[in-house]
């Protein structure tokens, strides 16, 4: 089955700086990679996703890059703001199986 | 998402008791999922269903049971066999059996032992 590793587990960034969270996956058949943001005690919410036929996708301050050869994908948040503080989860989906989540990154934005 | 409703928000279980967590969606999604989240941990899949009257075990199904009699509903029962049920339970749904489609989550149920 799929195995997703996520790093770092915690990340503190000065407000206005950029944050990068990295994930690797094991199954080369995985072709869909969503990122979720979860605030304390709340539901995970999809913030961006990427499919395997695309190398990069951007939505305002958030971008995701995918390297299929190396089997890794990353979340980039620029010009960080206090409301970006949350736990972020990556995930990988093999079309024949379920979605596998990473273990999460707790991002703290320091004012 | 307002389209997925989980109830109750908080639930307490006594020793030897079965409890059922409700999950209802009005998104017309085919697939539904139950996840368990422990403090500081990721999401672990308990059960999932890609179509009515069918469901499969996830990674941690022991001590849990589900049913999928209606497309809109996917209740999870935490049985007395689950010795460590304290966790945050999240229900999710997605269209078309989650083939490259995002999952949408409910607000969760926090289960504790009395």
Which residues in chain B are closer than 8 Å to A99, comparing Cβ atoms? 33, 45, 98, 103
Which residues in chain B are closer than 8 Å to A98, comparing Cβ atoms? 33, 45, 48, 58, 98
**Of A78, A65, A75, the residue nearest A109 (C-alpha):** A78
Provide CB contacts within 8 A for A15, sequence distance 6+.
Answer: A80, A81, A82, A109, A110, A111
**Of A95, A44, A97, A35, the residue nearest A66 (C-alpha):** A35
CA distances B100 to A52, A109, B46, B59, Å, are 10, 31, 20, 20
Residue-wise pLDDT for A33-46, tens only, equals 999 999 988 899 99
**A22 CA: distance to closest CA in chain B (Å):** 15
The mean per-residue pLDDT over the stretch A93-100 comes to 81
Nearest-CB residue to B102 (from A31, A49, A95): A49
The DSSP letter of residue B73 is B
- Residues B10, B109 contacting (CB under 8 angstroms): yes
The mean per-residue pLDDT over the stretch A15-36 comes to 96
**A15 CA: distance to closest CA in chain B (Å):** 23
Residue B56 has a pLDDT of 93
What does pLDDT average to in each consecutive run of 10 residues of chain B (114 residues)? 86 90 95 91 91 93 97 96 92 77 92 88
């Amino acid at each position: 089955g799929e195995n997703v590793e996520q790093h770092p587990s915690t990340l503190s960034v000065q407000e206005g700086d950029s944050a990068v969270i990295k994930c690797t996956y094991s199954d080369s058949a995985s072709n869909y990679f969503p990122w979720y943001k979860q605030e304390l005690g709340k539901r995970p919410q999809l913030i961006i996703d990427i499919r395997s036929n695309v190398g990069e996708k951007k939505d305002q301050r958030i971008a995701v890059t995918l390297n299929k050869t190396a089997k890794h994908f990353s979340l980039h948040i620029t010009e960080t703001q206090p409301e970006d503080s949350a736990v972020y989860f990556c995930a990988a989906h093999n079309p024949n199986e379920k979605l596998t989540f990473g273990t999460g990154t707790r991002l703290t934005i320091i004012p | 998402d307002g389209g997925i409703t989980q109830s109750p928000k908080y639930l307490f279980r006594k020793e030897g008791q079965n409890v059922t967590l409700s999950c209802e969606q009005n998104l017309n999604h085919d697939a539904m999922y139950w996840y368990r989240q422990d403090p500081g941990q990721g999401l672990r899949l308990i059960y999932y269903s890609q179509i009515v009257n069918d469901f499969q075990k996830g990674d941690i199904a022991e001590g849990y049971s589900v049913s999928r009699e209606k497309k809109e509903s996917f209740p999870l029962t935490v049985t007395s066999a689950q010795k460590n049920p304290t966790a945050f339970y999240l229900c999710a749904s997605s269209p078309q059996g989650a083939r490259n489609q995002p999952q949408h989550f409910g607000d969760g149920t926090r289960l504790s032992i009395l």
